[in-house]
Amino acid sequence: MDLARYVVEAVVLEGRSYREVARAHGVSKSWVGKMVARYREGGYEALTPRSRAPSTVPGRTPADVEDAIVRIRRELISAGFDAGAQTIHFHLSTKGITPVPSVSTIWRVLRRRGLVSPQPHKRPRSSWVRFEAALPNERWQSDVTHFRLADGTPVEILNFLDDHSRVVTASRVMRIVSSPDVLRVFQDAGSRWGFPASVLTDNGCIYTAWHRGGTNVVESELLARGITYHHSRPYHPQTCGKVERFHQTLKGYLSKQEAAEDIETLQAQIDAFVTYYNES
């Protein structure tokens, strides 16, 4: 017999006082009185411990908004787009939902619905020293990533990305990227977006010839324009982390599209994605 029922029967059936029963069992007289009152209102069933959780949570995200978050995430994943909380936040704002939940709230909804899992084994973000340009066109990052056409032919995609705004200033696919190609794409992007104050790349031969004791056309162009040139540390891709992350996002999208038969078709797919990426 549990304690609540025992003290109730001691009072109701045996006629003992609240004080006596409370002293005998090491509980307060008010608690004994509460148990007796519950019994008289609802019988023994009323003695079952009650949850302390509130019946309603005023700050809880409405169910229809949570459903919209889940639906948008699935649509984005199906289309090959990034489906993180930041992206979902933008799309919610275009659906007329007010107020739009914060990015952190969206992340918690995704976690509660089992769509994302926290990864405590990872180094916390707060421990990283973040390097980010303070203004647009203060620094561009550039890198090359690899992809394949429908028949397995390997191609290379050259990307330039603004370090501050994450705007993709250029994304061009070629059979093999050379230093003159980098120069041409950089000049075209600079003509459209304005030339940056500095450029950050890895130490690939298409960007620099310092390890051969000379300069290439890219370095000569930057020097002539007074643009500062930064190199990432060897074997440390985190330095160019923003453009590296864009590679992943772009490939995620391309993997959901019909495999391109030729470079022109692949370039059209990339152009469509870059427009979405920059404007969304």
Indicate yes or no: pTM above 0.85.
no
Q: Which long-range contacts (CB under 8 A, 24 or more apart) does 73-82 make?
A: 73/110, 73/115, 78/256, 79/253, 79/256, 80/252, 80/253, 80/254, 80/255, 80/256, 80/257, 81/252, 81/253, 81/276, 82/249, 82/252
The tally of CA atoms less than 13 A away on the side-chain side of residue 246 is 28
Among the listed residues 134, 64, 65, the one whose alpha carbon sits nearest the alpha carbon of residue 101 = 65
The pLDDT tens digits of the residues spanning 192-228 come to 999 999 999 988 889 988 766 678 999 999 999 999 9
**Strand segments (E) across the chain:** 140-148, 154-162, 168-174, 198-201, 228-231
CB 7 within 8 A of CB 28: no
The least confident of 4-13, 129-138, 143-152, 214-223 is 129-138
Most confident of the ranges 33-37, 67-71, 181-185, 201-205: 181-185
**Cα 82 from Cα 252, distance rounded (Å):** 8
The pLDDT tens digits of the residues spanning 59-80 come to 678 888 888 899 999 988 888 8
Query: Tokens 């030339």 map to which residue?
Result: 195
User: What pLDDT is stored for residue 14 in this prediction?
Assistant: 86
The least confident of 2-11, 219-228, 252-261 is 2-11
Query: Tokens 């109701």 map to which residue?
Result: 12
User: What pLDDT is stored for residue 270 in this prediction?
Assistant: 97
How do the domains of the chain map onto residue ranges? 3-47, 63-117, 140-279
Q: Which CATH number fits domain 140-279: 3.30.460.80, 3.40.718.10, 3.30.420.10, 3.30.360.10?
A: 3.30.420.10
- Mean per-residue pLDDT over the chain, rounded: 87
User: What pLDDT is stored for residue 186 in this prediction?
Assistant: 97
